Amino acid sequence: MKDFPAQTDVNLAVVTEFLWMEADLLDAKEYVEWLQLWTATGHYVIPVEKEGDDFANCLNIAYDNALMRDMRVKRLQGGFSISAAPPAESVRTVSRIVIDSVEGSLITVRAAQHVMEDKFGRQRSFAMNVTWKLEQTEEGLKIRDKIIRLLNSDGMLTSISYLF
């Protein structure tokens, strides 16, 4: 893999910088820019079940390929969704970042994420474990998959009008 120039750059600092940049875009609701972070394949997944990874054969909270991600962003920013216009404001923290594996150009990273939202003067909080499959490309890191495991994914949630 020596011939892949970005390879040598894989370290916690580089990955952390990328994840924080993503988090910053999401809190700022810069979704169009966020879409640019993705490769064309792969999924944005929020499973219901706590175990297993056969997401296609399970009911998920979100299971978005590129087309669905695009439509979701359009919905959130189109101005016609009462829950997203205006959306809840969010502040998130990404921490406890661990690089699980580096195989070829694919980096598997996981982290803890806390999100606080505010709307109607009430605040709600979400805690989740997030796994990213990051692809090293010539344009830098890209997200192939993002799997968000909410602590309460199979319990009683509240509706969410922005992206984790």
Partner 1 sequence: MSLDQTPGGIGTDDLVLNDRVKTPMYEDPALFNEEMEKIFGKVWVWVGHTSEVPDKGSFKLSYVGLQPVIISRDRKGEIHVLVNRCRHRAATVCEIKKGKTSSFQCPYHGWGYALNGELRAIPYTEGYNTDFDKKDFGLKQLKVGIFEGMIFASYNMDVEPLEDFLGNAKPWIKLFMKQGGGYPVKTLGEHQFKVPMNWKIQLENTTDAYHFPIVHKSFLQSLDGEATETFSFMDDDDGYVEDLGNGHSVMVMMPEFIDLDNDDGAPIPERFAELAEDLRKDYDEAQVRRLVRAVGGCGFNLNLFPNAACSLSFFRILRPVSVHETEIRHIAIGMDGGPAAANQMRMRIHEHFQGPMGFGSPDDAEIWERVQRGSAGGGEDIDVMVNRGLGLEKTSDNGLPVGDISAETGMRSAYKMWKKVMEQ
For residues 78 and 104, which CB has a smaller minimum distance to partner 1 in the complex? 78
Residue whose pair of structure tokens reads 């952390």 in the numeric block? 16
Reduced to 3 states (helix: H, G, I; strand: E, B; else coil), residue 120 is coil
Among the candidate windows 13-21, 69-77, 107-115, 139-147, which touches partner 1 by CB under 8 A?
69-77
Distance CA 109, CA 142 (A): 12
Written as six digits, the tokens of 131 are: 């796994």
Phi first, then psi: give them for residue 15, nearest 5 degrees. -65, -45
- Binding residue for partner 1 (CB under 8 A) from 12, 74, 95, 104? 74
Buried/exposed 108-130: b ≥16 CB within 10 Å, e otherwise: bbebebebebeeeeeeeebebbb
For residues 74 and 96, which CB has a smaller minimum distance to partner 1 in the complex? 74
Our finding on whether 71 is near partner 1 (CB under 8 A) is yes
Distance CA 156, CA 123 (A): 16
**Neighbouring-strand partners of residue 149:** 129
- Binding residue for partner 1 (CB under 8 A) from 14, 37, 61, 112? 61
Among the candidate windows 5-13, 22-30, 82-90, 134-142, which touches partner 1 by CB under 8 A?
82-90
User: Using CB under 8 A, which residues numbered 100 to 129 contact partner 1?
Assistant: 120
For residues 143 and 160, which CB has a smaller minimum distance to partner 1 in the complex? 160
For residues 13 and 56, which CB has a smaller minimum distance to partner 1 in the complex? 56
- Binding residue for partner 1 (CB under 8 A) from 15, 46, 109, 111? 46
